A and B are shown apart, each in its own frame.
Chain A
């Protein structure tokens, strides 16, 4: 069944049928050919449940926040200011993308929302300053994935819930690997741009006085960051509610810079709906496909496969990692987690590995799934925000960052303390 679904997926995608539609079609196929039960009868209920979700409202809210910053002119100021500070590094503003994504990750529990925010803020700068569109957009897609590694994280909450693992411990465990990944992304950017300077756009150097003046221009984004993170950590708002706080703060900040008028608000709202609908068609299709796969026994197939292997612990772990990488190409991330966790985690625990540690390892793999084609939500979000060039460019731009994630996986396997050190183990 897995093979047939994968083949069908590639074939239908190659016909350039919209990704969300392909996922629905595959769900129908699984229901018709691999299940004895009338799963299609559940289609309507399934779609209603997938969409009627209070957690998902964070997506349009964070997208709207980004739209306001861009259309209110705050983004342009922020970027020119960050340019003063980071453009001496090979790669210039690409580092600003990664830094901004890291910052937003500490406010957002969702990778898609993080990528959407940074993409809307950063994308207009790429062409203006002459960056290579592949690397520039790849850095945003990859940086956005940090949203589920650096706490808060919807995916870690789901993992904790399904495996009965302490969510506070998981959050603490995600911090070091998350920051390391951010540093790794920057490092690989520097290396690439040293090797091919043309990738990094025009390098400029600025005087100290100019840099200090630029700090003032960073004030709006810092205020916004403070409002969002502050409202979470002061106990005023939950992470989802903080998105609404961010929207309000973004309006105030953009207003203070004189960039709010009715036409701008209209464009921001329309843009928000465009990106939200695009994401949700994929999310809903993925939810339906997952429903049919689970009902048709994907869980049993995986379990039989794993027990059939009969390997020793490290090899089993590596097989599991490989399975996640392969499934990650095709399956949307939350579905991937809920389908596999009940099968994989008991195996992992039996082998003597730590549940908190494996949760972090899984998040790295899931982050990878977000930026690997053909099904990679962050790829689509970034492409949706830039509205020019092809999706292929974003995919190519992600390759170096996928390699960093693979290194991170290896590092976590070799040095489990990376995830466990803050929990005092």
Chain B
């Protein structure tokens, strides 16, 4: 399916950018270690690490979803015939999308509050909190959108009885 292929391509870019952020964060920590040995300090490497972790996590959620990497327990599902398995997959995806939408919905006030209060971290960097929180919130929205789009793709495949294709799109991680 064209939509699915597009989602995969997009999310691979997302994963690469997120991975790059992890790499940069490692570099930042290294610079901090070296400078400390020389008697200087940038300060704030742990604060930055926390922000990187939050951003990488939420944007990674969507990628892991499209890549079918989120953990599922297939004890019952694995014993069903193909249509039943796909129904389970759809149910799982609907539950996931509902949670993703709920979390994104509840995350907005956190960002809104930081913007309204012009909140700054209680650190020397005085990071305006809306910046890392906006990246974090964006990832949550992306995750919710991915969940809903995948549910549509999966439902389409199910209704047209393309069970093998459906499992390849929304089944558990690299099962059989």
Contact = CB atoms under 8 A, between A and B. Distances in A.
**Chains A and B touch each other in the complex, with CB atoms below 8 Å apart:** yes
Interface residues of A, number: 64
B33 A269 contact: no
A374 B75 CA distance: 11
A60 B22 contact: yes
B52 A282 contact: no
B53 A54 contact: yes
B40 interface: no
B16 interface: yes
Interface stretch (A16-24, A70-78, A123-131, A150-158): A16-24
B128 interface: no
A269 B20 contact: yes
B102 interface: yes
A45 B110 contact: yes
Contacts of B12: 270
Contacts of B136: 48, 51-52
Given A21-B99, A47-B103, A245-B33, A52 B53 contact: yes
Contacts of B73: 13-14, 16, 19, 373-374, 391
Contacts of B76: 14-16
A274 B15 contact: yes
B107 A391 contact: no
B76 to A, nearest CB: 5
Nearest to A22: B95
Interface residues of B, number: 65
Contacts of B132: 52
B37 A236 contact: yes
Contact of A57 (B27, B50, B91): B50
A380 B140 CA distance: 22
A277 interface: yes
A274 B64 contact: yes
26 contacts: A15-B77, A15-B88, A15-B95, A16-B172, A18-B72, A19-B73, A21-B92, A43-B107, A48-B136, A51-B54, A52-B54, A52-B132, A61-B25, A236-B33, A241-B32, A241-B33, A245-B30, A245-B33, A269-B23, A273-B15, A273-B64, A274-B15, A278-B69, A278-B71, A392-B74, A392-B75
Given A47-B106, A280-B60, A374-B73, 10 more contacts: A21-B99, A24-B99, A52-B132, A248-B30, A269-B20, A273-B22, A273-B64, A276-B22, A281-B64, A392-B74
| A-B pairs with lowest CB-CB distance, top 9 | A269-B19, A277-B60, A54-B46, A244-B29, A277-B64, A43-B106, A44-B106, A44-B107, A51-B54
Interface of B: 12, 15-16, 18-20, 22-23, 25-27, 29-30, 32-33, 37, 45-47, 49-54, 56-58, 60-61, 63-64, 67, 69-78, 88-89, 91-92, 95-96, 99, 102-103, 106-110, 132-133, 136, 140, 172-175
